[in-house]
Each structure stands twice: as structure tokens, then as C-alpha cells.
Amino acid sequence: MIDGWGKRRLEPSLDRLAAGLQAAGISANAMTVFGLATGLAAALAIAAGHFWSALALILASRLSDGLDGALARRAGSTDFGGYIDIVFDFAFYGAVPLGFVLHDPAANGAAGAVLLFAFYVNGASFLAYAALAEKRGMRTTERGEKSFFFTTGLAEAGETLIAFALACLFPLWFALIAYVFAAVTLYTAVARMMLARRAFR
């Protein structure tokens, strides 16, 4: 929901940073890998109870996720780059809740499982829509140039970042945050299914 607003404001700064990274010989794919590495490190920090460090790593991971797109726009995007970008994003989204579950299984296990279920359903709805949209030759630039047909929704990258940041700032509230965001995520998936019903009849 807030991704479009954030993209318009952050893109010029990301482009300037990407120019420097490109001049240093850093590729979009390398930045994508770095984003995953910092995201997984954040999950490990959460599991160990180092929540402030985890928050810093999450922010670094999502900055890398923005920079890889800016680098790809400058150097030219590839299908493989788009592929690992979406796969690594989903890996990050699953790793952070897993970190909270590993940190305190008794308090966070059920809520973490519900959130991961919601992510799983939402991810399936997103990728299935993208596959059928490609089959039908549909195109969109709602979130800029993407390797996949990108459907928007209430729960997108920006909202996920906010939920993860709140969980790191208030780790004792993880269960409540997870249940609320799982509901938002499932609403997004259902809304996308209704959109698919109209688009693919």
C-alpha cells in the first residue's frame, strides 16, 4: 500500500547510490545476494535475542533490495536477476518470523506459524497471478519495471518492513504483531484472488 509512495520519494536517492556502486563494479545480483545474507543474519540475531542488531540488519537488507533494482535499471535487468530477487525476498520474509519462533518457541510458535501460513498463501496468490498474467501477455508498471507482473495490495514490502521493525523494537509483542499482520496479509491474498476472478474469467 505504501510502496508506491515510498518508491517515488526514495528512487532518486537509490539511483544516486546505485551510480556509485556501479562505478565500484558491484552488480545487481551481488546486491541481491548481499540483501539475502543480511536478512538471514537478522534472523539469526533475532533467534539469539539481539533485537537492535537485527533491526539494523533488516534495514540493511531492505536497502539492498532497493539498490539491486536501481542497479538493474542502470545496467540492464536479466531474467535470472528477477528470479533470484523474488526468491530471496520470500526467503527473507520467512526467515524473520522463524527467528522469533526460535528465540521463544513457547511464546511465539503459534503466532509465527500463522504468519508464515499467511505469507505462504499470499506468495502463492502473487506468483500464480504473475504466471497467468504472463501467459495472457498482460503488463503493468504500477510498481515500476519488474520481471514479474506485480499486483499491489494492502500488505506489500513497506508494510512488512514496518511489522518486522515493530517486532524488533517490541519483541514481547511479537505474537500480537504477527497475528495482526497475518490478517492483513491474508486479506491481501483474498483481494488478489477476487481480482484474479475478474481478470481470468
How confident is the model over 72-88, as pLDDT tens digits? 888 888 889 989 999 99
Q: Collect contacts of 143-151 with beta carbons under 8 A, ≥24 apart.
A: 143/3, 143/4, 143/7, 144/7, 144/11, 144/69, 145/73, 145/77, 146/82, 147/77, 147/79, 147/81, 147/82, 147/83, 147/85, 147/86, 148/82, 148/86, 151/126, 151/192, 151/195
> In this structure, what CATH number is given to the domain that contains residue 56?
1.20.120.1760
Q: Which residue has the cell 528465540?
A: 103
Q: Which domain holds residue 157?
A: 3-199
Q: How many CB atoms lie under 10 A from the CB of residue 136?
A: 11
- Average pLDDT rounded to a whole number, residues 92-103: 98
Q: Helices 51-75 and 28-47: crossing angle, nearest 10°? A: 170
Residues 6+ apart with CB under 8 A from 49: 103, 171
Q: Which three cell numbers stand for residue 174?
A: 511479537
Measured in whole angstroms, the distance separating CA 85 from the mean position of its chain's CA atoms is 9
DSSP 41: H
Cβ 81 vs Cβ 25: under 8 Å: no
The C-alpha atoms of residue 201 and residue 198 are separated, in whole angstroms, by 6
The C-alpha atoms of residue 1 and residue 159 are separated, in whole angstroms, by 7
Q: 151-198, pLDDT tens digit by residue?
A: 667 778 889 999 999 999 999 999 999 999 999 999 999 999 998 898
The C-alpha atoms of residue 59 and residue 161 are separated, in whole angstroms, by 8
Q: Which residue has the cell 496479509?
A: 185
Enter the pTM of the model.
0.88
Instruction: Give the pLDDT confidence score for residue 144 in this predicted structure.
Output: 53
Strand partners, 144: 142
Q: How many domains is the chain built from?
A: 1
Q: Which three cell numbers stand for residue 111?
A: 503466532
Q: 39-62, pLDDT tens digit by residue?
A: 999 999 999 999 999 999 999 999
